[in-house]
Structures are given as structure tokens and as C-alpha cells.
Amino acid sequence: MPPPLRWGSMPRCRLGMQVASANCRGMRFQSTACRGVQLRKTAPRQPASRLCVAGPSGRRPCTPLAVPVGADRHSPNCRALSSSSTSFSVKNDTRFNPGPGERQYLQNIPREDTNGRWYFQLRERIGKCIIFGLSEAQLARAVDLVAAMSAEWEKLVLHMDEYPTDHDGLRNFTVPWGDMDSFGHVNNVRYSRYAETCRVNWVTGFAHKDPSNAEEWRSLMTKQSIGLIMAEISIRFLSPVVYPDTLNAYHKVIKLPDGPGEGDAATRSSMTLGCVIMSKKQRRIVATVTEKLVFYDYRTEKKTDAPEFALEVLRRACSDAAGAKAEAAVRIRQFREAVERLEAESWKREDAVEDLGSAGGGR
């Protein structure tokens, strides 16, 4: 008789759930959270994992269902996983007009939807449904749902905090091994360099969105005339980064400069930016940065009011970010409702009964 399966020692499948090895053919889980889920041994060099799903009684033949390799990876290829029976494909809508119900929801957004925890919570809930037992159609919906969440997760987390993802910053930065220190993680000083690189790309990137003032935007990061200088910076470290890893960094405006005739000289010449640094390996924000910048005229060697061309573009960027947040909140709500429907059709059914297994290993 093979040794009993231990939940903590099981490897993880592509949906992030712990499952038995493919070598354990015909064996059932003995966890109280399991119900009729089996694994069939996969043929060598098979391009897709094969997961068998038994019915509630566990008596019908186990039909293999191909789960696409890489279904939960952060990749544009996840678009191909959508089907006519699901609505989890990545949307490309450029306009967003929330309805009455959506506007009411936007006024009371759950806290977990604003801090990124919704992604991990929903994946865990989907995993519970899979382990409990799903039909082939339900499992296909679950795969589509996980694929869509994984493809959109980073964008939705950033948009919920009003960080634009369609602007220049720091993308797919491979962490150098030499950035680590004797404590075995990236040295804290390096984060300011990552944020600096992102900030320079972010400022000069406005030259593409405002081509009539392209030279002025690029000159802001030089000492030719009016430039931006750092006045204050603070970094909050949330999680250590260890080589190898890939980072993304994004910037946004926290406080705009006052316009002509508004505020005082200090508020007209300064603005506050926010930056987040995200780890692809950890799938989370590892550091947040707050920066106060001052517009400085190198010709007079004095601070100066923010140029009017910059004020207009920055205000438009803030407005666009607020609209993206509303769209992201509604999208997360759609994911949450889809998971709730899947739960209602599986372990939350009125006639649902857990299969606790038997002491004899099913003999």
C-alpha cells in the first residue's frame, strides 16, 4: 500500500493548488477539503497537463481534460484562453461608462480590492472549488478565470492606486546579482536608483504624448534651462528582493503644482510624485517611494513656477488615472462575482457533501 498523501508535501499544479504527483495514479486525496478529484498519469513530453475530474459520486469514468501549459502566467497569450461561454478575455475598451449599479459600487469599494489581496484570495477560492470537484465545463471556466486574472493582475493593482501603465517607466528590469548585499537581498540603497531611472523615463516619456513640447519635456532632465531637481525622497520597504528577479516600476502624480496666481511660490514650483516597485517573482509591490521635485531655472539659479505646458499635461494624466481606477474596480468586481458563481455551483450547493475518504484508502 502506498504511503498516505500529506497535504503540506504535495507539489503545486499550474493553478497554484497543491496536488498529488502524477505517479500516484488512481489515488484520491484524503483531505477534508477534497471531493472526488483525481490525477491521471501524464504521457511523456505532453504539451498540456491532464487533470481528471470525477463526479459527485466518484463513480463515472474519469475523463482527462487538457489544461493549457502556462495558463496562469502573466502573458498576453492568455487572450487565447477565452471562450464564447466566458467573459474573462482581456478587454481593450478605450472608453468606460459605469452604469448606475457600478457607480454605487465605486462609492464603497472593498478594502481588499485596493491593496492587491483580492488576487490571492480569489485564486485560493477557485482552488477550493477545483479540489472539491468540478465538471469539465466548470473546470474550463475556472482555467479561463485564473488565466484572465493572472494576465490583468498587475494592471488592475496599479490602476486601483491610480498608477498609469501605458506610460514610460522601468519595465522588465533584471536585478543584477551585484545589487545584493551581505544580508542576501538587494541593498536598500539600490531602490532609490530604480526609482530614479523610472522617474527620468516617466518625465521624458511625456515628449511622446505632447509632441509639440517634446524638446521642453526632454530638457527638464538636463540643465539647459528649466529642470527638475530632487528636494525630498522617502522609501518604504515592503519585501526584500533576492536575485534572480525582474522588476517593474511606475510613477504617478500625488500633488500637482499650483497654477499661476494660485498658492505661493513654494507650491507653484514643486510637485510630489509617487513610485511603486513591483517584483514579478513575488507578484507584489516590494517598495513605495515618495518624491518631492522642484522646478529650477539653471539660468537664474532660482526655483521657478511650473511651466504651463507641463501643468496642462500633468492634470490630464491625473484625470485619466482616476478613470482607470473606476474601470479596474468594476473589473475586479466581475472576477469576484464569477468566483461566487463557481462556488455556488460546487461546494456551496445545497446538496453538496464532502467526501472524507475511508480509513482503508478507498478499499
pLDDT in tens, 213-224: 999 999 999 998
Q: Do residues 152 and 29 share a domain?
A: yes
Q: Do residues 19 and 93 share a domain?
A: yes
Helices 117-132 + 308-344 axis angle, to 10? 20
Domain contains 234: yes
User: 349: helix, coil or strand?
Assistant: coil
Q: Do residues 13 and 116 share a domain?
A: yes
Lowest-confidence segment of 21-35, 232-246, 250-264, 302-316 by average pLDDT: 21-35
Q: Do residues 49 and 36 share a domain?
A: yes
The pLDDT assigned to 262 comes to 84
Asked whether residue 263 carries a pLDDT value surpassing 60, the answer given is yes
Under the banding of pLDDT at 50, 70 and 90, the label for residue 25 is very low
Domain contains 293: yes
| CA–CA distance, 302 with 203 (Å, rounded to integer) | 21
Asked whether residue 321 carries a pLDDT value surpassing 60, the answer given is yes
Share of the chain above pLDDT 90, in %: 52
| CA–CA distance, 97 with 327 (Å, rounded to integer) | 8
| CA–CA distance, 290 with 234 (Å, rounded to integer) | 5
The pLDDT assigned to 114 comes to 67
Cell numbers found for residue 295 = 522646478
Q: Do residues 150 and 225 share a domain?
A: no
Under the banding of pLDDT at 50, 70 and 90, the label for residue 34 is very low
Q: Do residues 64 and 114 share a domain?
A: yes
Domain contains 70: yes
User: 279: helix, coil or strand?
Assistant: strand
Q: Tell me the pLDDT tens digit for each residue of 270-317.
A: 999 999 999 999 989 999 999 999 999 999 999 999 999 999 999 988
Mean per-residue pLDDT, 29-55: 38
The pLDDT assigned to 112 comes to 62
How many domains does the chain fold into?
2
Domain span at residue 208 reads 161-306
Asked whether residue 338 carries a pLDDT value surpassing 70, the answer given is yes
The pLDDT assigned to 355 comes to 59
Domain contains 29: yes
Lowest-confidence segment of 84-93, 161-170, 304-313, 333-342 by average pLDDT: 84-93
Cell numbers found for residue 10 = 504535495
Asked whether residue 345 carries a pLDDT value surpassing 50, the answer given is yes
Q: Are residues 305 and 297 in contact, defined by beta-carbon separation less than 8 angstroms? A: no
CATH of the domain at 246: 3.10.129.10
Domain contains 13: yes
Q: Are residues 321 and 162 in contact, defined by beta-carbon separation less than 8 angstroms? A: yes
Lowest-confidence segment of 72-86, 230-244, 290-304, 312-326 by average pLDDT: 72-86
Q: Please tell me which residue, 11 or 125, carries the higher pLDDT value.
A: 125
Domain contains 97: yes
* H or E segment to which residue 231 belongs: strand 226-237
Q: Do residues 172 and 195 share a domain?
A: yes
Average pLDDT, the chain: 76
Domain contains 349: no
Question: Strand order of the sheet with strand 37-39?
Answer: 37-39, 48-53, 63-68
Q: Tell me the pLDDT tens digit for each residue of 145-175.
A: 999 999 999 999 999 999 988 888 999 999 9
Q: Do residues 170 and 292 share a domain?
A: yes
Domain contains 319: no
Asked whether residue 2 carries a pLDDT value surpassing 80, the answer given is no
Cis peptide before 56 (omega within 30 of 0): no
Q: Do residues 148 and 182 share a domain?
A: no
| CA–CA distance, 82 with 335 (Å, rounded to integer) | 14
